[in-house]
Amino acid sequence: MKMFLVKNYEELSRKAAGILAAQVISKPNSILGLATGSTPLGTYANLVEWCKNGDVDFSNVTTFNLDEYAGLSEENDQSYRYFMNTNLFDQINIDKAKTHVPNGKAADLTAEGLQYDQMIREHGGIDIQLLGIGHSGHIGFNEPDDVFVGSTHPVTLVEQTIQANARFFGSIDKVPTMAITMGMTSIMQAKKVLLIANGQDKKEIVEKAFYGPITPKVPASILQLHPDCTVICSW
Ligand code: GLP
């Protein structure tokens, strides 16, 4: 594992975007695993700028997002599909048909998850997976549990996550209580993993995840076993 502590959010964003851009430049048909949340916003802003400048070409890139709220359609401005369209896909030269977000409106989220994993496998797996980290230690929406769950699967969000995400919904009652998330198999099989964490409030959980015991109670701790994991933090 490579851990970088950088001086501020701007530097974190530039460094993370640089790693993703280098991936796309060296392999134009890369399969990127992407994340939502507030942390990757600066990373995506850099990628948009570099694409507009003609420095990075996304026309052959395929993406798979980590997760989606259950029950939200892509027109809902709180859905992760809407987030990705607005903050990245609509602003770069990617073919939208090559962008994938789990369908939170699927009638059977378990079946949707298995299909999603199948699609990732058919693409040969993920080249680089971008991750944030939740206060609960979640990656994607893999919440603390008794076991690490491998497949893309439906999850019940923990109270801490619902509270943390209430800021986006205006009120806590509007936050969905369920989601669908990529599981640990696709994440751990990604050739590279890049986790970004910003702010004092993430320091404790990052230390637990990367310097504490490997346990499904701290889902991100599984990344200690990944052969090519980079962590960029700014406090
Ligand atoms: C959300 C997402 C995660 C994200 C995390 C942290 O719930 N499902 O993928 O990493 O929360 O979000 P933020 O970057 O806003 O702190």
The model's pLDDT over 116-135, given as tens digits with 9 standing for 90+, comes to: 999 999 999 999 999 999 99
Ligand 1 atom closest to Cα of 67?
Answer: 8
pLDDT in tens, 192-234: 999 999 999 999 999 999 999 999 999 999 999 999 999 999 9
Distance CA 132, CA 119 (A): 23
Given a cut of 90, whether residue 177 has pLDDT beyond it is yes
- Cα(175) to ligand 1 centroid in Å equals 14
Ligand 1 atom closest to Cα of 40?
Answer: 14
Pocket test for ligand 1, best of 9, 34, 39 (most atoms within 8 A of CB): 39
pLDDT band, residue 161 (cuts 50/70/90)? confident
- Cα(115) to ligand 1 centroid in Å equals 24
Nearest CA residue ID for atom 6, ligand 1: 134
In sequence order, what DSSP letters do the residues of the chain get, joined into one string?
Answer: -EEEE-SSHHHHHHHHHHHHHHHHHH-TT-EEEE--SSTTHHHHHHHHHHHHTTS---TT-EEEESEEETT--TTSTTSHHHHHHHHTGGGS---GGGEE---TT-S-HHHHHHHHHHHHHHTT--SEEEE---TTS-BTTB-S-SS---S-EEEEPPHHHHHHHHHHHSSGGGS-SEEEE--HHHHHHSSEEEEEEESGGGHHHHHHHHHS---TTSGGGGGGG-TTEEEEEE-
Range 51-57 contact pairs with CB under 8 angstroms and sequence separation of 24 or more: 51/91, 51/92, 51/93, 52/91, 55/21, 56/21, 56/24, 56/25, 56/92, 57/24, 57/28, 57/93
Q: What percent of the chain has pLDDT over 90?
A: 96
Ligand 1 atom closest to Cα of 199?
Answer: 16
Tokens of 71: 């029950």
Distance CA 17, CA 61 (A): 15
